[in-house]
Amino acid sequence: MGGDSGLEIRMKRRSRRQSGFTLIEIIVAFSILLLLSGMAVPLARHKLRRDKERELRYALDDMRRAIDKYKDASDRGDFGQVKPDTEGYPENLDVLVEGQKAATGDKKMKFLRRIPRDPFTKSTEWGVRSMQDDPKSPGSGGAGKHVFDVYTKSTEKAPDGKPYAEW
């Protein structure tokens, strides 16, 4: 008997019918993918926010340290006579990068390599405060003629509700 048996023919038909996925299998697979991606998106947003916050803290710390070093050098007399309007603080943030000429010699003292980029505004423009500004007002704009402190110009708030401009 040289032909296929009935069992073999039924198995071939069944395997042809069962190749591929059923509609229910596809729906279940897509539902699982949708659920997983739905959980991943908020986590990714949270991580991006935390990265921006960390970058903001580093930038503010670097600039504040540079302002303090400038003030210390000014108080030591490294720049000669302190201008009365500045109280020994830099006149603007650019002075920290470009440098201030030392009282002795032609050497310039630099305190920052560059002004950091604000991760929230994506700009190197920062808000500045002077000693004459109201400390409770985050956006006083540096009414005096020197830079005592810096802050972000972002209007966004941290998860705890505190504006980033108050960091």
Q: What does the pLDDT look like over 14-42, one tens digit per residue?
A: 555 556 788 999 999 999 999 988 888 88
The three-state secondary structure class of 109 is strand
Reported confidence tier of residue 82, pLDDT bands at 50, 70, 90 = confident
Res 47 pLDDT > 70: yes
Query: In this model, does residue 142 exceed pLDDT 80?
Result: no
- Is 51 strand, coil or helix? helix
In this model, does residue 114 exceed pLDDT 70? yes
Neighbouring-strand partners of residue 163 = 157
Mean pLDDT across the chain: 84
Scanning the structure block, which residue is given the tokens 């006083």? Answer: 140
29: Cβ contacts below 8 Å, ≥ 6 apart: 21
